[in-house]
Structure 1
Amino acid sequence: MDGYQVFRANYEECRVEADKATSPSSKAQWLLFAEEWLKQAEAAEAQQRRDAAIPAVPANKRTTQNRGGADITSRWTPL
């Protein structure tokens, strides 16, 4: 399960709990929780779309230019 799916599941669970709440303050708190989970889900979905749009470049092919315009191999590697 992707991160955004977990966030969405938590969002739905909070909505269900809000519907079951008997006091207005409890319902409001569950809805606040739901809103935060939804924000996290949307952020994770956006990040996944950005990651999918960036082509993977093998570490040995990453280059950058120094101030003189010469290509130098980058030593950066993703985590």
Structure 2
Amino acid sequence: MPQRQEGASSFGTVSSFKGLEAPAVILTDVEEIGTQRAQKLLYVAVSRATDRLHVLARDGTQRSLAELFTGEGTNATVR
């Protein structure tokens, strides 16, 4: 991962951000969360944000993400 500068954006793989934090995280290209490995990577990714988290996922994955995040089953709202 490149050196971080105050106010600059950084990007990289989920693994390259492990152990780091950022005020805002935009997680892109979430395609599946059905495996234990995928869920572990997702946890690492979403736990990097200290203030804001935005997740961009495929339509079929959005409901599964909402269920996983909220624990509300099929009643979860996706915005």
TM-score under structure 2 normalisation? 0.26
Q: TM-score, normalised by structure 1?
A: 0.26
Which structure has the higher relative contact order (CA within 8 Å, separation 6+)? 2
